[in-house]
């Protein structure tokens, strides 16, 4: 989710002193074990908090691209990496910064029609005062989830094309998602919906939320069916203007950029926990069973969305 402010004080000495081992809970099956191992890798101290424009961000990006290549995914355009420039909050007039999105395309059985975009952001807050903000839940969890879903879609192709998007600079104001919708690799009108995953691994409140159905009520039956099929209970909400500040998640993550273009969205996430935007957001705090259930629900939801994509009215 969007950080209220972004700052970075990084030195080799401070970084070395901040390194800490992450011991993840032992999962009970190979699928969950792989999820947790990937999560620990993407949120490791060696990624230096994945702040946009840092060496840690570049390492995280290289790891994600390697995972995509290993599973046989193809880039949506000429390359997986799609650089963009942006002006972030607090920048002086005329200044800009660089980010890099990662976009893959999974061909559907009937290409050339509507497209589904599934997304997560790989950036986080970096290193502050010698502490690494690893962002295991925010949002390494979403990235690893859609890597898992992408593998399944490649083995059993969807009906329609699916774009898999790993956005950069979300913490700086949804900059990667904004760059994507302003210059998409496919015609914007062909994007039927966005499914965005941001913070799907922590079970502190015991609830995975689905937001967006108040804006697009026709999506709610699909999420309900996916919940039933996966056996995962979800709650709907956090998407109406009558809520107190911060409780309406309509613009709280990358789906907000799609919503701004009139594209229907569903957002999966948990409520803020004690380690939200803190250095304690580590893989060791994740309940493997809850995380696995979130991924299974998201995977079932992708299939439901894909099956219905041709019926969406824009």
Query: Which pLDDT value is given to residue 17?
Result: 32
- Range from 33-37, 164-168, 306-310 carrying the lowest mean pLDDT: 306-310
Query: Which pLDDT value is given to residue 5?
Result: 31
User: Is the pLDDT score of 24 beyond 70?
Assistant: no
Query: Which pLDDT value is given to residue 205?
Result: 75
Query: Which pLDDT value is given to residue 16?
Result: 33
**Is residue 313 very low, low, confident or very high in pLDDT (cuts 50, 70, 90)?**
low
Across residues 68-85, what is the average pLDDT?
97
Query: Which pLDDT value is given to residue 90?
Result: 66
More confident residue, 55 or 89: 55
Terminal alpha carbon distance of the chain:
27
More confident residue, 90 or 41: 41
User: Is the pLDDT score of 222 beyond 80?
Assistant: yes
Average pLDDT over the chain, rounded to whole? 90
User: Is the pLDDT score of 132 beyond 80?
Assistant: yes
For 294, residues 6+ apart whose C-beta sits below 8 A from its C-beta are 141, 145, 200, 201, 208, 232, 268
- Rounded to whole angstroms, the Cα distance separating 226 from 200 reads 16
For 48, residues 6+ apart whose C-beta sits below 8 A from its C-beta are 10, 15, 54, 55, 56, 57, 59, 126, 127, 132
User: Is the pLDDT score of 166 beyond 90?
Assistant: yes
- Rounded to whole angstroms, the Cα distance separating 126 from 9 reads 9
Query: Which pLDDT value is given to residue 13?
Result: 30
Query: Which pLDDT value is given to residue 276?
Result: 95
Q: Give the global pTM.
A: 0.91
User: Is the pLDDT score of 20 beyond 60?
Assistant: no
- Tokens 């709650």 belong to residue: 235
Can you list the domains of the chain with their CATH numbers?
12-19+27-88+96-311 (3.40.630.10)
Across residues 104-125, what is the average pLDDT?
96
**Tell me: the pLDDT tens digits for 276-295?**
999 999 999 999 999 999 99
CA-atom Rg of the chain in angstroms: 18
- Rounded to whole angstroms, the Cα distance separating 272 from 277 reads 9
Question: Which SS3 state, helix, strand or coil, does residue 292 take?
Answer: helix
Query: Which pLDDT value is given to residue 260?
Result: 98
- Range from 1-5, 143-147, 175-179, 287-291 carrying the lowest mean pLDDT: 1-5
For 191, residues 6+ apart whose C-beta sits below 8 A from its C-beta are 114, 115, 116, 117, 163, 184, 258, 263
User: Is the pLDDT score of 203 beyond 50?
Assistant: yes
User: Is the pLDDT score of 6 beyond 60?
Assistant: no
- Rounded to whole angstroms, the Cα distance separating 308 from 298 reads 15
Query: Which pLDDT value is given to residue 265?
Result: 98
Query: Which pLDDT value is given to residue 314?
Result: 59
Query: Which pLDDT value is given to residue 171?
Result: 96
For 286, residues 6+ apart whose C-beta sits below 8 A from its C-beta are 24, 25, 36, 39, 136, 137, 141, 201, 202
**Is residue 26 very low, low, confident or very high in pLDDT (cuts 50, 70, 90)?**
low
**Is residue 96 very low, low, confident or very high in pLDDT (cuts 50, 70, 90)?**
confident
Query: Which pLDDT value is given to residue 145?
Result: 98
């Amino acid at each position: 989710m969007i950080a209220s402010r972004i700052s970075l004080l990084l030195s080799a000495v401070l970084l070395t002193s901040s390194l800490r081992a992450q011991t993840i809970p032992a999962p009970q099956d190979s699928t969950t074990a792989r999820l947790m191992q990937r999560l620990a890798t993407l949120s490791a101290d060696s990624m230096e908090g994945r702040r946009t424009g840092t060496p840690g961000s570049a390492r995280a990006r290289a790891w994600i691209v390697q995972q995509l290549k290993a599973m046989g995914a193809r880039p949506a355009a000429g390359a997986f990496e799609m650089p963009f420039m942006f002006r972030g909050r607090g920048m002086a007039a005329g200044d800009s910064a660089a980010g890099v999105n990662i976009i893959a395309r999974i061909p559907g059985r009937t290409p050339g029609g509507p497209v589904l975009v599934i997304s997560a952001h790989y950036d986080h807050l970096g290193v502050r005062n010698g502490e690494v903000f690893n962002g295991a839940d925010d949002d390494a969890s979403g990235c690893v989830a859609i890597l898992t879903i992408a593998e399944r879609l490649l083995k059993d192709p969807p009906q329609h094309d699916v774009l898999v998007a790993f956005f950069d600079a979300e913490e700086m104001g949804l900059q990667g998602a904004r760059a994507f919708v302003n210059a998409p690799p496919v015609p914007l009108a062909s994007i039927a919906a966005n499914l965005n995953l941001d913070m799907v691994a922590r079970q502190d409140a015991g609830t995975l939320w689905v937001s967006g159905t108040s804006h697009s009520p026709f999506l709610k039956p699909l999420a309900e069916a996916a919940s039933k099929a996966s056996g995962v209970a979800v709650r709907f909400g956090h998407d109406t203007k009558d809520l107190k500040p911060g409780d309406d998640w309509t613009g709280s993550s990358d789906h907000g950029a799609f919503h701004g273009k009139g594209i229907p969205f569903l957002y999966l996430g948990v409520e803020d926990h004690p380690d939200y935007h803190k250095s304690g957001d580590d893989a060791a705090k994740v309940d493997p069973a809850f995380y696995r259930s979130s991924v299974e629900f998201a995977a079932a939801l992708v299939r439901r969305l894909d099956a219905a994509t041709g019926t969406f009215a824009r």
